[in-house]
Amino acid sequence: MSPRLIGKVEIKSQNVVKPIYFEGLKKVGNPEQTLNSWSMSGIDEIIYIDIVASLYDRYFNFKQLNDSAKNIFIPITAGGGVQSIKEAENFFANGADKVCINSFALKNKDIIFELAKNYGSQAIVLNIEAKKKSNTSWECFYENGRSNSSLNVKDWILEAKDLGVGEIFIQSIDRDGSKNGYDLDLYKEICNLTNLPIVLGSGYGKISHMEEIFKIKMPSGFCISTIFHENYENIKNIKNYLNKL
């Protein structure tokens, strides 16, 4: 099976934004228009995240998610500030097929077990914001790359798997938005840790960057945003490439 092509939609207030290296948020679009456009272009899934909800301890805009998702018929993973079963229920009730967690889970790990028990592991995605510490070590950040948990990425993946997470979404703070290619060393370190699906984000700029990953191990999916916002590459072209694998 070919990897899924997933579009990342990062939200701040009413806007789709795009940071580079998790900094300097630039407005790039409207949530509803972005989801509709990407869906019609053939994207397989969407990851929709309010990237400042945890940072500002702000209420997630469920109406905006609902409005954006109402005409979308592909899976949507949504997150931002999830701290309870009740909040997770609001995500599912407003168009999300899966819930993405990061900041609160790093501080209160039991939330992973509770969410998995209530909704099943397949509905729980662990978002990891990884930053390189040494040649073989990465640490988990949260609150959109602002805060360091000091937790080793590999240790966190293994612990979260045991708690019930069903999918890993790995992002590299050092590569995000750069279009310079994925962090190959990071992927080499994590790709054989678990049989859970791994979605790889941060750094895509051209097809050869995917080919570099395939030489290591085929991921479950690639999550891309910058080049789609900039119309730098066509979704259909990438999908055609992946479908031929």
- In this prediction, residue 57 has a pLDDT band, given cuts at 50, 70 and 90, of confident
Return the pLDDT at 137.
Answer: 95
Rounded to the nearest 10 degrees, how much is the dihedral formed by the CA atoms of 157, 77, 4, 222?
-60
149-194 per-position pLDDT tens digit: 999 999 999 999 999 999 999 999 999 999 999 999 999 999 999 9
| Dist CA 147 CA 142 (whole Å) | 5
| Host domain of residue 213 | 4-243
Q: Indicate if the pLDDT at residue 4 is higher than 80.
A: yes
What are the beta bridge partners of residue 147?
142
> Per the structure, how many domains does the chain have?
1
108-131 per-position pLDDT tens digit: 999 999 999 999 999 999 999 999
Residue 226 · residue 203 · CB < 8 Å? no
Sequence-distant (6+) residues with CB within 8 A of 27 are 15, 16, 17
Q: Indicate if the pLDDT at residue 136 is higher than 90.
A: no
CATH classification of the domain holding 118: 3.20.20.70
Q: Indicate if the pLDDT at residue 135 is higher than 90.
A: no
